[in-house]
Amino acid sequence: VSIPEGVDPFFQPGPPGPTRPEKVILYVGRRDPYKNLPLLVEALATLRARGIPARLRVIGPADARYPEAPALAEKLGLQSHVDWIGYVTLEELRREYQTADVFCLPSRYEGFGLPVLEAMASGTPVVCSNIGSLPEVAGEAARLVNLANPADLAAALSDVLTNPDLAAHYRQRGLQRAHQFTWSHTAEQTL
């Protein structure tokens, strides 16, 4: 029997963020190849080419072993539209989730996918891949993407960023889904 992790109640919706000229796509995690960050950079390029003013914020450690995503952003002329932030405090992480327009995890594999739940608990719509543990964690509360067709990622992000009703739908479903993953529930199942 698989026992899921819980999401810390520290992650919760906050006050509305500042009005920005660009829509913020948030990614939280390492840059290992299985995380598929270059695909997210390509999706950003597609969105901007379609006239959607999107910006990508990447939270997580730089790793010299995996220079592909930053190199691709430079090659595609996206340097001014990608923020490589690195590590942040827990309070800063919560604020990043709360103020993002969408959270995206295009990973090819996840043991669990805790950032998906943290984003949902923070009231952020989620777009993630439909493989590994992510469909089990996200359920129907996220827009699941087939990575076999790379265009699906840009299409899903475009839909969420340009359709306020759809974003609100995933925001509400995500909050409900995150409430199902508590540490007390995990402890009860473990016992």
pLDDT digits (tens, 9 = 90+) for 100-156: 999 999 999 888 889 999 999 999 999 999 998 999 999 999 999 999 888 999 999
Among the listed residues 176, 151, 119, the one whose alpha carbon sits nearest the alpha carbon of residue 45: 151
Q: Is the pLDDT reported for residue 1 higher than 80?
A: no
Give the confidence band of 21 by pLDDT, cuts at 50, 70, 90: confident
Give the confidence band of 160 by pLDDT, cuts at 50, 70, 90: very high
Q: What percent of the chain has pLDDT over 90?
A: 78
Tokens of 87: 């590590």
Query: Quick check: 102 and 167 in contact, CB under 8 A?
Result: yes
Which backbone phi and psi does 29 adopt, to 5 degrees? 155, -175
DSSP state of 98: H
Please give the model's pTM, rounded to 2 decimal places: 0.92
* Sequence-ordered strand ranges (E) for 79-191: 82-86, 102-105, 126-129, 143-145
3-state secondary structure (DSSP) of residue 38? helix
Mean pLDDT of 67-89: 97
Among the listed residues 164, 169, 161, the one whose alpha carbon sits nearest the alpha carbon of residue 51: 161
d(C-alpha 110, C-alpha 101), whole Å: 23
Query: Quick check: 120 and 177 in contact, CB under 8 A?
Result: yes
In this structure, the number of other CB atoms found within 10 A of the CB of residue 168 comes to 11
Out of 63-67, 91-95, 178-182, which region has the weakest mean confidence (pLDDT)? 178-182
Mean pLDDT of 41-61: 97
DSSP state of 105: E
From residue 84, alpha-carbon distances to 58, 73, 140, 156 in Å are 5, 11, 30, 23
What local confidence, expressed as pLDDT, does residue 189 receive? Answer: 65
What local confidence, expressed as pLDDT, does residue 61 receive? Answer: 94
